[in-house]
Every structure is written in C-alpha cells, then in structure tokens.
Structure 1
C-alpha cells in the first residue's frame, strides 16, 4: 500500500492498484463519525458507441448506462437496499455523462457495508422479465424530467451547444430508446465497462487504513475476473460552432428561466493543464458574475435576476462549457445585458484586487469543503478520472495569476460560441 501526503491541506491518501486492476484510495479522517464509500466505473451516458470485448463495434440504446445502474440493485434472492438499511447505512447511486457511481454512508458496520457494496456491484443479474418491468419505471422518471423546467432549460442548452457529441443526449434516454434495451445489451455494457480495471473505489471517513485495505484485498482476491478488455469508445467529430444559438419551450413556470452557455472550442487537455484551466475559468466567472461583482449588483438591482442566478464551468477531457442564468422576468434583456457585461470586462480587464479577493474566496471555500466527507466523496473520483488529485487544488489555485485569468477571458468568452435556452410560461403561448 502506497501513501501520498498532501502537506498543504494536511491530508494523507493511502492507495493501491490491486491485481485485478481496481484502483483503491483510502482517506482516513480522524474525529469524524461518518464514513463514505464510492465505487465508480468510468462509464456514463455518452458511452453508447464502442467496441465490445470481442472487438465488435456496437451502438447501444441511449439511456442504457442509467438503466444498468437501476438494474444493479436487483438480485435473484436478496434485497440490496434492505441489507444496507439493516446495517444502518444509507445507499444510493447516480449516472452522469461519463461515470456511474454506487455509494453508501454509515457510522457503524463499515466492514459489512463495504463487502456488500463490492459484492452487489460485481454480481450482475438481469432477466427478460425484470428488464421489461424496469422500462415502465424509468419511463415514468423520463416523463417527470420532461416536465421539470430546471432540467429542461439545462438539457436544451446542451442540445443547443453540441451538434454531434453525445452530451446532447438525455442521460436517462427517451421512452423510445429504452424500449430497445435488452438483457443482452446490459450484459455487453457490463462486461465492457464494469471490469475492476475501469473502476475506482474510494473510502473516506473514520477507519483504520491498513485494516480496510486488507478487507478490500480479501474481497477481490476471492473473485475471478477475465482479463481487462481494451475499451474503445467511438465519438463523432464535434464542430466548433453551436448546433443553434437559441432554443425556447413553454412549460408551467411562474417566471421564465434563461440559461446561457459558452461552448469551449478546444478540448483534449488532461492532468494539471486541465485542472488549471478548470480553476482559472471558475475564478473568471466568479470575478465577472459572482455575488460580489458589480455586474451581479447591476443585474439584481434592475430586477433582471433573482437569487436563483448561478454559474458553473464543466470541464472534462473531451468537452467543456460554462453556463450561467436563472429565473428572470425578461430573458431577452438578460441575454443582451450579459453580452454587454462580457464585452466590457474584455475591454477593461481584471483589477488585481478583484482577482486576489476571488482567489482567496476560492481557496477558503475549498478548505472548508475538506471538512466534509461528503464533499471529498463527491469530488475525488472526478479529479482522479481526469488525471488529477483533489488535494492538489490549493497549490494550483495559488499558482494562477491575474494574467492567466485575463488570457482565459479572451479565450473562453467568445460570443459566437454562445447559446441560449429559455423556458417561458405556458400561459405566454396562449
């Protein structure tokens, strides 16, 4: 077992790659009562076109990664959720664009819960009947999301920004696409993406690292796995320009919702270069649109935004985009005002004081986050899959200069890369 000490944030990570390829990371946190474990595969909704273990190139139905996540909880002769509950643990799972995670939190019986997590995720059980039954359940979930204005305004923005890249596809698929899912498809996806070599296990909280690592090793050496497949994902080429610059729908909302997105032109970064771009862009957004900025004050005082206004930058190896917006009485005016704000910032540049304040705030918020096992559990795997360490954030943040942020502003704030998604009240259509 190897040890990496991050002196600046006073964190120690114990890690090992097991014989079957599983990467295990342990973060003991003395004085904490709760422990989190997250078992994640690098497989999400965008991975629908790939080569199987046999080398066959296949396209599987949209939504299958999310469908598979649901089906992993169903076993022939056991109730996984009931077993976690009996052990005093809370369990959950989620599917994102590029990963699927299974997790639990507990204050007791860590050994039993950890074995249960590893066992149920590594024991697929699919039948024709259970697959058909699940289609109805997930179909209801899809209908619910179709009627959710916050989700709709977000997904419509991604569909506006991306022409071909499958981030523009609903994570859960559609009722039509999931109707084509079979147990054979599920097993093909499982065998391709759920091999331990494509997975990461993180445990963070109150425990003895050596004892927990031995438990995990014992669990894994007692199982047989075929050689790890060579995973070949196949993605379409994505043109730089957005698919469309504007999309509108009508739903049951009080105030209209408006989300603005800027698609990153160049991707393909990894490791520290990717992390630095991520943190630099988030600093930029906080300086320009954060709650302490003059722009935010102007937008709020004019009534163009409410407290729902927010922003974020999503930065992965294969795609990246910034989004900002919220509820507004006048989406068109909000879009034009934000365009003006961006152009003004690009002309006047960033003041050193504003930059220093934003950087101190970012570092302070991150350090406070490290006091939460939930925060570490939710963030750690994403950083690792992108070739970084969560605990390297502070030194990278400290290395960023005002000039870095200004350069990023000129690179990223390209208005011809902007797309807008609006949800108006259904009453406006009448």
Structure 2
C-alpha cells in the first residue's frame, strides 16, 4: 500500500492496485463521523463504439445504455441494493456522466458491511427481458420530462451545434427511440467490457483505519473471478472546426428568450495536469471577462441585456472541452454580438490586469481549500481525476503557479470566431432573429 502525505493540506492518501486491476484509494479523515465510498467505472454516455472484451470487432451500442445500466445494477436477482444499504444505516446513490458512472454510499456506522454492499451489488449484475422492458418505460418518462425543460434544451442545443453527429450531443439518458434498442445481451456486453476491475476505482474517505479498510476490500475481491483484463478499444467520431453549426434558434414556452454562446476547444486529447491547467485557465479567463466585478458584466446588466440568470462555465472531460456563457434576455441577437465582441477583443481588455488576476487567483485558491472540507467533493472529484492521471490534492499548487501570461496564451489559442456557436430559445410566436 503506497502512502503519500500532502503537508500543506494535512491530507494522507493510501493507494494500491489489486491483482485484478482495481485501483483502491483510501483517504482517512478521522475527525469526521461520516464515511463516503464511491465506486467508479471509466464508462459514460459518449462510449458508444468499442470492441467488446471477449470480441475482436467493433460494435456500436444504443445511446443511453451507460445510464440504463446504472439503473439496472441496483436490482439484484433476489434483493434491492437500496434495501441492503438501508439495513446498515447507509444512504446510496449513483450517477452517469458523459464519461463516467459512479455508485456511492455515505454512512456513520457499519462501514465494512456497507463497503461490501457497494462492491457486491455493482459486481453482481442481473439482466432480464422483463426487467429491461420495465426500465425502458421509466427512463422514457424521465427523458420526456427533460425534453420539456428549456434549460436542458439550451444546453444540449449548444452541444448539438458544437459537436454535431457526436455522442456528446445526445442526452446522457439517450432518446426515447434509442433506449428501445437496449437488450439484456447488450447490457451484459457493456458490463463485461467496462465494469472490469481494471477499468474501475474505489475511493473511500472518512472515519476508518486504512489497513483494515484495505483488507476489507481485498478480501471482497479475492472471492470473485473476472475475465482476463485487456485494453479497451473505444472510437469517437472525428470532430473539427469545420462541422460546427454557428447558430440555431427554436421556439418554446418561455417567459423570456434564452441565449447560450459556446466556444469549442479543438485540442481534445488533454489529460493529467495539463487538463487541470486548462480548467484553471478557462475558468479564470471567464471570471476576468464576465465576473460580477468585471466592467462587461456591469455594463450588460445595467443596460438590461442580462439578468441574474447570467452564468458561464468551462467544461472539460475525456476527449472534449468547451466554454459556455448563457443568460435570459429580451435582446438575444444584440447579446450574442456583445458577447462575441468581448471574447474576440480580449487582447486589449481592461479587465485583464495583474491586480484583478491576483485577486481572482486568491479567491479560486480559497474556494478550492474550502471545498476540501467536503468528503463528497473530494470523493467525486478525486475518483474522476484518477482516470486522466491527475491528482486532486495537487490542484492548488497548479493554481498558485498560474500567471496572467498563461491566461493570455490560453485565450490566444482558444478564442477564435470559427470555434463559436450560439443557441437561442425564443418565445413561441416570436420572429426568428
């Protein structure tokens, strides 16, 4: 068991890769009463083309199958995983993203029992025709609910503009049509390929002794057999600047029009600490240009072009990254023009000063340190970063060493007009702009 101590944060991390390939991370926090466990596979909604673990030809699976699989694993052959956790006083949950699926629990007691429950229900799949058909109805209802949500339509509309014919542009849950193609056989193929221990990690954080916890996990895994591990071959469709759709508007039942402008990053294969630097650079750049104290925010707000719905984010994950800026507005075309001008004229922007940058950097460091007080935050982010080769407790030094010149170089390569797209939701009956 490897041990690394982060003196500045007073955090100690224990890691080991088991014989079956499972990566184990233990972070004891004995001043906390709660323990949080998260079991994650490097498999999300965009992974819809791959070579199965026991095959040699690539297959394409229906959109939404990763999310569907997450739902089905909670139903065992003769038990329900939620009931197993409740028996030992734990709460459980799961979520699927574009690139990951995670299963988690939190508890204050019976930690070894709950850890075994977490490992056992995820590693004991049971797929039937009846259960699969029943789940289709449940998830179809969930999809229809989101389709009526303007915020959902705005976000995925922008993704369809930036990444047409790419699985990123499809809802994580899939479509009502795509989930009809899911079968127990396809679920099993996905499970065997992506839920192999060598494609997964388990992270435990909270009140426990690391040696005892590691032994609990080792004993659990020693009693199980898996197919021999082999590298997973995944394929994603090529994406470039040429296939971006610059603009699209739709009509929905909204009180005010909604605008989301995106900037697509083109060097998609950014991993490890370089990916974390991109997140830092992108987030600080957006904060400098559009933060509440920036001259642009104040001007746009005072002129009534944006309201309190205004927001922005830098999104990065395996194989993609993009900026998104959004607001409700009565002047969607004018707001789009203003936002583009701000982004394209960044070089002479009065907000990009060392004084403002230093304040924002200190604020970002403070927010990061504050986040480390949350077991859930550490667990969710640490387990995700593991797959890209980054280390959560090394993020603060990366922020500290960031300079305004780094932000300028990043902006120079990122903020190109041909990389931009806008998606607009107009009120029903409104004249298309």
Q: 1:420 aligns with which of 419, 422, 426?
A: 422
Note if 1:135 corresponds to 2:140: no
Q: Residue 164 of structure 1 aligns with which residue?
A: 165
Q: Work out the CA distance in 2 between the residues paired with 1:424 and 1:33.
A: 49
Q: Residue 339 of structure 1 aligns with which residue?
A: 340
Gaps of 5+ in 2: none
* Contact 1:164/1:237, CA 8 A, preserved across alignment: no
Structure 1 segments, 4+ long, off by >6 Å, are none
TM-score normalised by structure 1 residue count: 0.97
Q: Residue 192 of structure 1 aligns with which residue?
A: 193
Q: Residue 402 of structure 2 aligns with which residue?
A: 400
1:2-13 aligned at under 5 Å gives the runs 2-13=2-13
Q: Work out the CA distance in 1 between the residues paired with 2:22 and 2:171.
A: 29
Q: Residue 36 of structure 1 aligns with which residue?
A: 36
- 1:308, distance to aligned residue in structure 2 (A): 2.0
Secondary structure at 1:91 match in 2: strand
* Contact 2:241/2:418, CA 8 A, preserved across alignment: no
- 1:396, distance to aligned residue in structure 2 (A): 0.7
1:5-404 aligned at under 5 Å gives the runs 5-53=5-53, 54-348=55-349, 350-404=352-406
Secondary structure at 1:160 match in 2: helix
RMSD: 1.5
* Contact 2:344/2:416, CA 8 A, preserved across alignment: no
Secondary structure at 1:131 match in 2: helix
- 1:429, distance to aligned residue in structure 2 (A): 7.2
- 1:427, distance to aligned residue in structure 2 (A): 5.2
* Contact 1:242/1:418, CA 8 A, preserved across alignment: no
Secondary structure at 2:37 match in 1: strand
The CA deviation string for residues 280-304 of structure 1, in whole angstroms up to 9 with x for no partner, is 1111111111122111111222222
Gaps of 5+ in 1: none
* Contact 1:192/1:229, CA 8 A, preserved across alignment: no
Distance of aligned partners of 1:57 and 1:354 in 2 relative to their CA distance in 1, 3 Å threshold: same
* Contact 1:283/1:405, CA 8 A, preserved across alignment: yes
